[in-house]
Amino acid sequence: MSRTVQCILLGREAPGLDYLPYPGELGKRIYDNVSQEAWGRWVQHQTMLLNEYRLTPIEPKARKFLQAEMEKFFFGTGSDKPAEFVDPERTTPAS
């Protein structure tokens, strides 16, 4: 039986993660408070941030930025999309 958590993002009980997804205290907080579904939402958001800001995750500055965004996404006011971001799923093809 999988473990459940009271997901801070979804506001309800949901299946929890199977492992610490990130090292250190932040990883422990995520493991204890974030569901699998919410983590998946972060992964999608993080991918968008990487692409839109053209980040290289091996660079310390990019890692620091992504960690700060992760904290805001789960435990703060939320992580915003870049102002120029256009969701490809919401655009309609030209006729």
80 pLDDT band, cuts 50/70/90, is confident
In the chain, domain spans: 4-75
Structure token digits, residue 91 = 């655009």
pLDDT of residue 25: 96
Under CATH, to which class is 4-75 assigned? Answer: mainly alpha
Residue 94 buriedness (CB in 10 A; 0-12 / 13-18 / 19+) = exposed
pLDDT of residue 29: 97
